[in-house]
Amino acid sequence: MNALTETRAHRPATEGFLEIRGLTVEHPLRGGRKVHAVTDLDLSIAKGETLGLVGESGCGKSSAARAILQLPRPTRGSVRLDGEELTALSGGALRRARRRFQMIFQDPIASLNPRRTVAEIVSAPLEIAGEGDARARRETVEEMLELVGLDPRHAMDRRPHEFSGGQCQRISIARALVLRPDLLVCDEPVSALDVSIQAQILNLLADLKARFGLTMLFISHDLAVVKNVSDRVAVMHLGRLCEEAGAEALYSDPAHPYTRVLLSAAPRPDPDAIPKPLPMAEGEPPSPIDPPSGCRFRTRCPRAQALCAAEVPPVVPRGAGHGVACHFPLD
């Protein structure tokens, strides 16, 4: 158990609804090398809470999401949902457990089968779970479509290409929630959509979350989006956790140099309020095939020192529910 565990003392002693411990995802390459997509990630989400997971593209946040959903199973680590170890399930047991955790994908159009009607798409989870007969399923689908703001009479028998991106994402949400899952993982659910539509989809997710008491893992590269929907936010860089805090605390008091960089890059309504941008070394993040030793941010970090190359910074508590993995955090 690492230091962050102590920072969670303010929460009930029971473990989180979703507990992720030491999650590691590696993709082997030729010649014995491997891509270190996610390394030793610890996360915990309480029931009914939304955790935002942010980072640049390629930082491993999507790999982490898929590993949590066992799509496919992570290389190492533990994923417990409501006390059940998901990595220990296989075959039919895993398929049956899937109704409790669902996912919304980034590309709303690609995530819907072009050759099936909306009614078929949304009722598929019910069929797979063996819920009700055809008529009962159709009624459930109609209700669900109404809940996501689509007119069932208009939508049921059409195919996805007849809908806009935002409408497709509504269909996708209907499909994900039709079995009333406990956990919803949203992987960049609005980044493929027009800005004007993003807010509608985010509001819809917030409504449905309240209605169904969902626990959510919300993944995005966009800090502004994450701040609005999340109770807590975790920042990832090159497969490792950098900082985790309540949404307000993270934005007002970032302690990790990388968090500060991300915040200064995010557009703000009031340009004068930008804290002095932290200079970051130019260039792409290092390759996850051969990540830097010690702190993986050190090649771009303005505060890096010898210790950063020598030792992986542990996650250290900084305040209530605020942890940071940095040898020399900001004040």
Interface ranges with other proteins (CB under 8 A) = 69, 71, 94-99, 102-103, 105-107, 110-116, 124-125, 128-129, 149-151, 154-155, 159, 161-162, 164-167, 170, 172, 175, 179, 194, 196-197, 200
Selection from ligand SF4, other proteins, none that 167 binds (CB < 5 to 8 A by kind) is: other proteins
- For 108-112, the CB contacts below 8 A with 24+ separation are 108/165, 108/166, 108/168, 108/169, 108/171, 108/172, 108/192, 108/193, 109/160, 109/161, 109/165, 109/168, 111/168, 111/172, 112/160, 112/168, 112/171, 112/172
Choose which of 61, 73, 209, 327 interacts with ligand SF4 (CB under 6 A).
Answer: 327
For the CB of residue 67, give the shortest distance to ligand SF4 in the complex, in Å: 24
Shortest approach of other proteins to residue 251 CB, angstroms?
28
Find the shortest distance in angstroms from Cβ 168 to ligand SF4.
39
Whichever of 204 and 326 has its CB closer to ligand SF4, that residue is 326
On the CB side of 5, CA atoms within 13 Å amount to: 10
Q: Which of residues 279-318 bind ligand SF4 (CB under 6 A)?
A: 295, 297-298, 301, 303-304, 308, 313
- Would you say 76 or 303 has its CB closer to ligand SF4? 303
Q: Report in angstroms how near the CB of residue 297 gets to ligand SF4 at its nearest.
A: 4
- Note whether 250 and 239 are within 8 A (CB): no
Which amino acid, one-letter code, is at 219?
I
Is 119 near ligand SF4 (CB under 6 A)? no
Q: Are 257 and 326 in contact (CB under 8 A)?
A: yes
- 261 touching ligand SF4, by CB under 6 A: no
Tell me how far, at minimum, the Cβ of 313 lies from ligand SF4, in Å: 4
Find the shortest distance in angstroms from Cβ 29 to other proteins.
17
Residues 125-164 that bind ligand SF4 (CB under 6 A): none
Nearest to other proteins of 114, 283 (CB atom): 114
What is the closest distance, in whole angstroms, from the C-beta atom of residue 13 to other proteins in the complex? 32
**What letter represents residue 277's amino acid?**
P
The residue among 70 and 299 lying less far from ligand SF4, judged by its C-beta, is: 299
Does 326 participate in binding ligand SF4 (rule CB under 6 A)? yes
The span from the first CA to the last CA of the chain, in angstroms, equals 26
Total residues at interface with ligand SF4 (CB under 6 A): 12
Name which of other proteins, ligand SF4, none residue 107 binds, using a CB cut-off of 5 to 8 Å depending on partner kind: other proteins
- Given 125, 257, 285, 321, the residue binding ligand SF4 (CB under 6 A): 257
Nearer to other proteins, 178 or 278 (CB): 178
Instruction: Please give the residue ranges that form the binding site for ligand SF4 (CB under 6 A).
Output: 257, 295, 297-298, 301, 303-304, 308, 313, 326-328
